Structures are given as structure tokens and as C-alpha cells.
A and B are shown apart, each in its own frame.
Chain A
Amino acid sequence: MIDAPSSRRLDHRLPERFMPTINYDLCRVCRRCVNECSYQALEFKESRVVPSGGCVACGRCIAVCPANCIEVRPVPPQFAPHGNWSERSRRSILAQASSGGVLLSSCGADDTHPPIFDDLLLDAAQVTNPSIDPLREPVETITYLGRRPGRLEVCDGKVIVQEDDTPLIRMDMPLMFGHISLGSISYNAQKALFMAANELRIVAGSGEGGLHPDFYQYADRICSEVASGRFGIKPEYLKGVAAVEIKIGQGAKPGHGGHLPGEKVTTMISETRMIPRGTDALSPYPHHDIYSIEDLAQLVSVLKESTEYRLPVGVKIAAVHNVGAIASGLVRAGADFLTVDGFKGGTGAAPRVIRDHAGLPVEVAIAAVDRRLTQEGLRNRVTVCAGGGVRSSADMIKALALGADVVMVSTSAMIAMGCRVCQQCHRGLCSWGIATQRDDLTSRLDPQVAAARIVRLYRAWNEELKEVMGAMGIDSVESLVGNRDRLRYRGPNPKIAEVMNVKHIGEGWG
């Protein structure tokens, strides 16, 4: 081994990234910030609170300070400026040269790839098609999840819907909460999500960590997930819920498995996942019973048999470069709905190299899937859900117009609960009690309060959706889905507009 002890060895300590700064004129020395900082970045020393290093800018101290005297400032660049060797690239190299490890990260990709959502502009109605006032006239946002009837028959003036495999799940808005497992987030955080989904009358994903017995009361609003780890799968997990989804991939880490470190596998997590306490919970990279579309069809079929065709069975994939053809395969394999998770989707832990470099932006993926399924005559049969980096109602509306029936959101719900996107979920120290299993931290999150905040957020988004639909002169969300004529691209690369089949700004309908 080359790495021998040497007196010339230097501790390549990295400079701090954030510095909590305390205004001592205002500080009352109540020490709440010290007690609340789960990263131990503040300490009480010589009768005052001082920073002790390791601040991640989670914002907890700012929120709890009664004197409003804390500011967290990003530390200015400490290395000589260089156009190519960014601060991060050099920090990464220094860290890995010390550890030899694979860099771990969480939340969504935080690099500087500009979101394509920001390059899209919405249309509005003028003169030739009247706009609608959504506060006074009906503008419909009810959305259904599942396989749609293939055709309608009109007989003696009556419309007969041809019955199909599965019932549809009715949701009040074209939104669903993404799959976040118990384990990656706390009991209270998951409870808040389920309570909010119940109140909003939408569907929430269970994540792959099984379902806690307390959460079966929300089961008719839960889509349970069958991932490669097959954690916590029992008959009621399949039969007693609103829908079942097979997880093939996740936008933040396409092609990668899951890994819940042993320290997060508490007694509760081990019971829910049905694994021994304290061992790593590994999800294999692929499902080892799925090496082809034909194999996927078998898992879809066995889930349909197991649920006696009473539930929609979906498949979730990460957005990758060949996503259109894969989506076509999913529908042919029998998926009643499919979920496309984009490049910027969140995660509780993922290797940084995959999170930041692998996959396809969800905007392009939605358009690719919508176009491919339309070309093959399959689009009208399935529900397409899509998410990964949806930050606002504007992003949601653009995703719908690009071709998604349902928009999947997760990080925004976390932020509504308190998350400040400090990207430390993988450390399990979340000071907001969300991405942690430490009792003293999870107790900081009141599920009632968090659920109410989530409900308010998405009700507001739905109102904004109605405002935009009204302004476009559209009275039903189904008329917005895939309506790319109401989008224009104004970004730097017209080729993107071409692959998304969106016209450039300045191009009319004619």
C-alpha cells in the first residue's frame, strides 16, 4: 500500500461552504440554535454562540432564532479562480483523494443545466377564442389514473363506454406525490404526505419501503410500489391500495439500485420493510425477474392476477435517451399508467456522478413519450405521469401541455414541510425531521401542520392551473394535455424545440 504514515502528511481539510453569522448586538444567548443544529455547526463557547464548522445551510437556526439575529452566508470562493477547474471540481478531487469513496449526494441534480421549462412560454386566448374566468365559470381539473377505455359506442343516442381491464382512479387535480419511502423520510413526513393526498383527493406514492400499519387508513389514496428490493410486500400491500406501481428506475439515479444504510434501518423500518434491523437495505440495480419487456409483462400480469384486476398497475422508469421506445414497450407489457421520472428528480441518496450526469430532462422525455405513443396509437389508452424537477405551477402546466396527464411532485412537498434543499438527506441528520430516523429530529415535524402546508401549496397551484387554463380558453385539463400548440420555445437551441415538437416563438398556428 502506497498510503504509509508520514510526518509530511497534510490534512487536506476543505474550506467551509457556509458560515452562520450571529449579530451579537441582538443575540439573547438563548442557545436554541445550538440545540437545534443537528449538524453541530454551532456551539456555545465563552458565553456566546459561535460557528464550529460544517454548516450546510439547512436554515434551521434562522427559523428558530427568536431574535432573528442569524444569517447563513455562503463562504466566498477560497481557491484561485479558474474557468475550467470550478470550486466544486477541486473540492471533489480533494475529498476523493482523501477518502477513495464514491461521492454521495441527495435531492435532485443541482448543476447548472438550465431547466427547459424556463425556455417555454405559455399561450393565451385573444379575440378568436375567448378566455374563461375560472372563478365564475367551470374549469375542470379532475384527472383519472389508469388504462382508459379503448372506444366509446353510441347506440340509440346513448354513449356506452367499452369496459376495460381496470377501474380508473379519480383525482381532483392532475398531480400525484412521487414515491418517497419510509426510511428515506421519517414516519411523520410520510404521514403528512398521505394526509395531504387524502385531503387533496390525489394519489401519493408509498415508495419501496413497504407501508406502515398506521398508513393503511389512507390506502385508497396510496399507490404502492414494487421495486427491485421487494420490501414489505404482502397481500394487503398489493390488494388494499389505490394502485400498484413497478419501479424500474428513478430519475435521480437511472440504472442504479437503492441503498438504505444500516444506521437508518431502525426497528420501525425493519418491521415495515421486513428486513433485519441494522443491516443495509439494498435494492438490486435491476429486477432480476425482468430482463426484457416480455419479462416486465409477466410481473405486470402477476400483479394484475394478484389484485384480481381491480387496481391499475403502472410502471415507473427513469427518463433515459431511448425513453420513447421503452414507454411503448411498457404499454405493450400491459402497464395501465406509466411514470417518467426526469433527470432533475429527487432522491434520498445517489452517487453524485449519476445524479448529475445521467438521464434526460423530463421536458424532452414527456414530449418524446407522448409523440411515440401517439404514433403507435397507444397514447389514448394509458395515463402518462411525469415528474422530476417540477418547481412551480408553471412547470406543472408546461409538463401537462408537453403531454403528461399527471405531474408527479415530491421535492416541492418536502419544501412545503420545511425542507430548505440543503442536499444532506443521505446523512440522515435532517434538522427539519424529514429525511431522518432520529427520534429527537423526527419529533420536530408535526404531521398535521406539515400536511396543512402541503394542502395549501397544491390547492394554490391548482388555482394557478385554472387561471392559466382560463386565460388560454381551455375549460378542461384534458384539453391542455399534449396541447403543444399552446407552448412556444424561446431558448438557445431550436433543435430542442424540434425534438419536443414545440414551435419557436414568433411562429403562429398557420
Chain B
Amino acid sequence: MKYVCRPKGHAHDCDCGKDSMSVVGDRAVIDLSLSATQPMHYTTLNCAMRKAMRQGCLSIELKGVMGQRYLASTASVPGLHVAVHGTPGNDLGAFLNGPTIEVFGNAQDMTGNTMNSGRIIVHGNAWDVTGLAARGGQILVKGDTGYRVGIHMKEFGESRPTTVIGGTAKDYLGEYVAGGTILVLGLGGGPPVGRSLGAGMHGGRIFVRGEVSPEQLGPGAALLPLNEDDEREVRRLLGDFIKAFGTEVHQDMNGYVKIAPSSSRPFSGYYDKTNV
């Protein structure tokens, strides 16, 4: 049977990361190729990462990641930077609460699932349900994304999630969105967004660079021109994108459309409360 680390709290003593992790100062490097067990199990890798965080590391570099899931889930160390070389598995940075994760490769599904705050920067593609139910923080994807990205994002007070997609997004982008901002740049060519865009959205906003026809909108979403605040936000997000990836993006605001909810109460009037 494959060795699976089942830590039970912080008092736990195990060998995870013994052969693959080196810590110098506040920088940890975990080279998965050095692990005696191949491929390294996700529990081992996550356990080693938690050890590095407990030791006060502010930088964790992962080398040779091969589909290990749930990396840095619920990580809460302020200022922590996690660099992922290779291909992380699903649920990267789930429930993330502060740190920055930078992926030098593609991310899989459910990246940034229910994240609270922090940043996830993907120098490649990120697939389905990226940023599910995010309540804050930022996700930057250089390439394309899959279906149902940004679903059910919400905002509260100062906490406002933003997602920037350099390439394209597929159907149901921003479904149920209750807050936050999604920006799609469509840089690689092709239609920037698919069908059922913003289906059931009742808050937040989606900006798309390129053409969006009314037929692509889901129920509850409306196509609008950008106002001054919107333009300022798009420019700010473009700045974040350019800073993260060094890519040049056309800054002409005429090329953008805004998709926003037609109502914050999409279902008022839908129900009959008569006492029958």
C-alpha cells in the first residue's frame, strides 16, 4: 500500500518532506523528484508544505509537481509565496486565505475553490470551475479557461474577488455571480466567451474584450456599456495582468462590453406565498 500521511494536528511527527524538502532561512524548496516514493502522494506534499509554513517560511517552491491535488488549501500565512513548477492537480488553493500561488504551467479544475483572499497566478491555462464561490482575492490566468468559471463569486464589504482571463472562457462564465469582477481578454483569438454568460447573476460584473451577442447571455444578465468606474476597474485589472505576465494588452476601452445583472432580486415575484 502506498504510504499516505494522515496527520492529526500540529503535534504530528512524520517523515513527510524529509527526503525532498530543504529549508534555507524562510525559503523552502520541495523537489518532488527526490522523493523516495514516486509519484509523491498529495498528502505527503501537503504535509511537507504545512511543515514549511509552521517553520515560518515565506516562500515555498515546488518542483516537478505532477497532478498533486489540494495544494495550499486553507493556507493562511500572510505574505507567503508558493511557486508551483509542473502541473498541479484539482482544487489548487482551495479556501485560500492570504498567500500568493504562482503556477508555471497549467492548472486543472476548481482552482481557487471558495477562496477568501490571496492571489493565484497561472502562467498557462486553468480549466473548469476556476474560482468557484470566491469571496475575495484575485485569480489571473494567462491562457484559456474552461466551463463555469467564476461561478457564484460573491463580495462583501472590502472583500471583492477579481478574475482576469487572458484567453477565452467557455459556457456559463459567471453563473449565479453575486459579486466581484471577471475580465476576459480573448488574447489568443477565437470567441472570448461561450453561451449562458452570467446565467442567474444577481451582483458583480463581467467585462469582455471583443464581441458578445445578446444570444450568448443567460437569464438575468444584461449587456451594458462601460461607465467611468468600470473603465477605471478594467484598467486596474489590466495593470495587474500586465504586471503578472508582462504581456502587452490593448487599452482601448471601446473594445470592451460589460455584462451585469438585470436585477439584484432575480426571483422576487417567482414565488406565491399564499397560505393554501
Interface on A for B, CB 8 Å cutoff?
Answer: 14, 17, 56, 88, 91-92, 95-96, 99-104, 165, 167, 228-230, 233-235, 238-239, 259, 261-262, 270-271, 273-276, 278-282, 284, 288-289, 298-299, 301-302, 305-310, 351-352, 423-424, 426-427
Is B144 in the interface zone, CB < 8 Å from A? no
Q: Across the interface, which residues of B come within 8 angstroms of A279, CB to CB?
A: 178, 202-203, 264-265
Asked if B268 and A289 make an inter-chain contact with CB atoms under 8 angstroms apart, the answer reads: no
Q: Across the interface, which residues of B come within 8 angstroms of A298, CB to CB?
A: 69-70, 90-91, 110
Which one of B22-30, B129-137, B190-198, B240-248 contacts A?
B129-137
The B72-116 residues at the A interface (CB cut-off 8 A) are 73-74, 76, 90-91, 94-95, 97, 109-110, 113-114, 116
Is B189 in the interface zone, CB < 8 Å from A? no
User: Given known contacts A230-B152, A276-B156, A279-B265, is B91 in contact with A302 (CB within 8 Å)?
Assistant: yes
Please pick, from B50, B94, B202, the residue contacting A308 in the complex, using a CB distance under 8 A.
Answer: B50
User: Given known contacts A306-B74, A309-B6, is B200 in contact with A104 (CB within 8 Å)?
Assistant: no
Asked if A308 and B155 make an inter-chain contact with CB atoms under 8 angstroms apart, the answer reads: no
Asked if B9 and A278 make an inter-chain contact with CB atoms under 8 angstroms apart, the answer reads: no
Query: How far is it, in angstroms, between the C-alpha of A248 and the C-alpha of B65 when the chains are bound?
Result: 32
Asked if A282 and B178 make an inter-chain contact with CB atoms under 8 angstroms apart, the answer reads: yes
Q: Across the interface, which residues of B come within 8 angstroms of A274, CB to CB?
A: 135, 154, 156, 159
Chain B residues with a Cβ closer than 8 Å to the other chain, count: 56
Is B228 in the interface zone, CB < 8 Å from A? no
- Chain A residue nearest to B46 (CB atoms) is A305
- 16 cross-chain CB contacts under 8 A: A95-B272, A95-B276, A229-B133, A273-B156, A274-B135, A275-B155, A276-B178, A279-B203, A289-B109, A298-B70, A302-B94, A305-B43, A305-B46, A351-B271, A424-B275, A426-B271
5 extra interface residue pairs, beta carbon distance < 8 Å, beyond A282-B200, A288-B132, A289-B129: A228-B152, A230-B133, A279-B178, A288-B148, A299-B91
Is B3 in the interface zone, CB < 8 Å from A? no
Is B274 in the interface zone, CB < 8 Å from A? yes
Q: Across the interface, which residues of B come within 8 angstroms of A104, CB to CB?
A: 271-273
Query: How far is it, in angstroms, between the C-alpha of A97 and the C-alpha of B91 when the chains are bound?
Result: 47
Interface string of B110-125 (1 = CB under 8 A from A): 1001101000000000
Asked if A102 and B9 make an inter-chain contact with CB atoms under 8 angstroms apart, the answer reads: no
- Shortest CB-to-CB span from A238 to chain B, Å, is 6
Query: How far is it, in angstroms, between the C-alpha of A278 and the C-alpha of B268 when the chains are bound?
Result: 12
Q: Across the interface, which residues of B come within 8 angstroms of A276, CB to CB?
A: 154-156, 178-179, 203, 264
Please pick, from B6, B74, B152, B273, the residue contacting A235 in the complex, using a CB distance under 8 A.
Answer: B74
- Chain A residue nearest to B98 (CB atoms) is A235
- Chain B residue nearest to A102 (CB atoms) is B271
* 5 closest residue pairs by CB, A with B: A101-B272, A230-B133, A95-B274, A306-B74, A99-B272
User: Given known contacts A279-B178, A308-B50, is B155 in contact with A235 (CB within 8 Å)?
Assistant: no
Asked if B265 and A91 make an inter-chain contact with CB atoms under 8 angstroms apart, the answer reads: no
Query: How far is it, in angstroms, between the C-alpha of A101 and the C-alpha of B272 when the chains are bound?
Result: 5
Asked if B156 and A275 make an inter-chain contact with CB atoms under 8 angstroms apart, the answer reads: yes
Q: Across the interface, which residues of B come within 8 angstroms of A427, CB to CB?
A: 273
Is B256 in the interface zone, CB < 8 Å from A? no
- Chain B residue nearest to A305 (CB atoms) is B70
Is B188 in the interface zone, CB < 8 Å from A? no
